[in-house]
Amino acid sequence: MPEAKKLWGGRFSGGTDPLMEAFNESIHFDRRLHAADIQGSQAYAKALKRQGILTAAEQKTLEKGLSAVLREWQEGTFELRPGDEDIHTANERRLSELVGSVAGKLHTGRSRNDQVATDMRLWLRDEVTALIGYLRTLVGALVQRAESDVDVLMPGYTHLQRAQPIRWSHLLLSYAFWFQQDAVRFEQFLPRVAQLPLGSGALAGNPFQVDREWLAKELGFASVAPNSLYGTSDRDFVAELLFHSSLTMVHVSRLAEDLIIYSTAEFGFVKLADAYSTGSSLMPQKKNPDSLELLRGKCGRVFGGMSGFMMTYKGLPSTYNKDMQEDKEPMFDAVDTLSGSLQITAAVIATLKINPDKMRGSLTADMLATDLAEYLVRKGVPFRETHHISGAAVKMAEDRSCQISDLSVADLKTLHPSFEKDVMQTWDFEKSVDRRSSIGGTSRATVKAQIDQLKQWLA
């Protein structure tokens, strides 16, 4: 079989170095755009018919031929040939084999520059919609756990030191709100993805007055790229995807880190399901949180893809440059990694077992030192003064090797005369968390309000 003609080969008489051939081709990864490429081509054929470039019969022939090519991809029977350097070349080559020379009319006024930008945006639009769905599922899993575990108390930490008592649900909901914001960012991103480059040509625009607004509606785009130079060379949508994905993976990683710590024998607050754990090849007793460690590690992968792409993107002169071939693999990888990570995270949360007794048993009276200071505030003592008084009470307990709650009213009166018998009600963890009743606090009522807020968003 003679070597396939390259789409760009008319100006060249010499052959390409085989090493350069392999270095240049992108079909091994951009084949994922096959459906988007065909969708865009079918719409473009209709636009050409509207301008009289194609007859109605020619347009129907191309539409049927492109549908046949799509079926081959879907059924796994599409055969790649030497010379199929990218998905556009491969699809056009196969279309020519199926429908003949009329396939050569499809590229009229179109460049691979506006074609690939359109393909990427079509593909990404659907993938981002799926990512939003995975984020909503994860938020739903966190909300469901928070609702069922609402009465479980645990230590809250700052600097990884025990700080104040909180509800376990309050911690889960903090991540639910992070993931909600991730979903909102992706939703706000969608209209910027859905901006049509097709009809920009190679860089200068389309000479056949193709109706780009009609094309945008046909392909379900929200708007038309207003400048052809911008339309062919803009990859901000890739950068934005990589940033949003990196930030979402940061939230996944932080949740994973908390759960890894809480699953250690030293904490014992949570236990992963066997389905999301592995053992040791040497130590039979081990149960390793591999799912969480992988989630934590994947964050670096996605962030690395973003930083690498940005280093490529920042130095490009205007319009299309072949460096842009480096935009697809990090885009694909970010979507794949985030999709898997969000689904695994939701499953881990849904199947996680907690140890409420161990959580409550880790609460110590010194975590109520702030409540002791707040007791005096309610007696009219300035907070800066009460903070020092409470600190002195902590030191007194340390010096006596006892808990701060073991100090008597008489002991506390030596620190300030405002202490009364009712100070003993301070040493109640349930009352402590329920005093935090302003919006966003860890009281039962405010946690319930947070749950309701997220439920309304999910609905």
DSSP 325: G
Q: Catalytic: 170?
A: no
Which whole number is the average pLDDT over 126-134? 98
Q: Where does residue 234 fall: left (phi above 0), alpha (psi -120 to 50 degrees), or beta otherwise?
A: beta
Does residue 1 surpass a pLDDT of 60?
Answer: no
d(CA 125, CA 96): 29
CATH of domain 15-108: 1.10.275.10
297-311 tens-digit pLDDT: 999 999 999 999 999
Give the other-Cβ count within 10 Å of 376's Cβ: 22
d(CA 348, CA 171): 15
pLDDT attached to residue 318: 93
Distance separating the N- and C-terminal Cα atoms of the chain: 58
pLDDT attached to residue 8: 44
Catalytic residue among 13, 159, 281, 401: 159
pLDDT attached to residue 74: 98
Which helix (DSSP H) or strand (DSSP E) does residue 410 occupy? helix 409-413
* Residue 286's pLDDT band (cuts 50, 70, 90): confident
The number of CA neighbours under 13 Å toward the Cβ of 81 is 15
The dihedral built from the CA positions of residue 235, 342, 292 and 364, taken in this order, carries a sign that is positive
pLDDT attached to residue 395: 97
156-169 tens-digit pLDDT: 999 999 999 999 99
91-124 tens-digit pLDDT: 999 999 999 999 999 999 999 999 999 999 999 9
Q: What is the mean pLDDT of the chain?
A: 94
Domain ranges of the chain: 15-108, 113-361, 365-427
Catalytic residue among 67, 148, 223, 280: 280
Residue 101 neighbours by CB under 8 Å, 6+ apart: none
**Candidate from 5-14, 209-218, 369-378 with smallest mean pLDDT:** 5-14
Does residue 14 surpass a pLDDT of 80?
Answer: no
Residue 156 near residue 364, CB atoms below 8 Å: no
d(CA 145, CA 257): 18
Does residue 256 surpass a pLDDT of 90?
Answer: yes
d(CA 114, CA 118): 6
CATH of domain 365-427: 1.10.40.30
Helix (H, G, I), strand (E, B) or coil at 296: helix
163-205 tens-digit pLDDT: 999 999 999 999 999 999 999 999 999 999 999 999 999 999 9
Residue 390 neighbours by CB under 8 Å, 6+ apart: 369, 370, 372, 373, 376
Give the CATH fold of the 113-361 domain: Fumarase C; Chain A, domain 2 (1.20.200)
β partners of residue 157: 162
Does residue 392 surpass a pLDDT of 90?
Answer: yes
pLDDT attached to residue 2: 44
* Residue 385's pLDDT band (cuts 50, 70, 90): very high
Q: Catalytic: 339?
A: no
- Residue from 168, 276, 235, 215 nearest 40 by CA: 215
d(CA 259, CA 108): 57
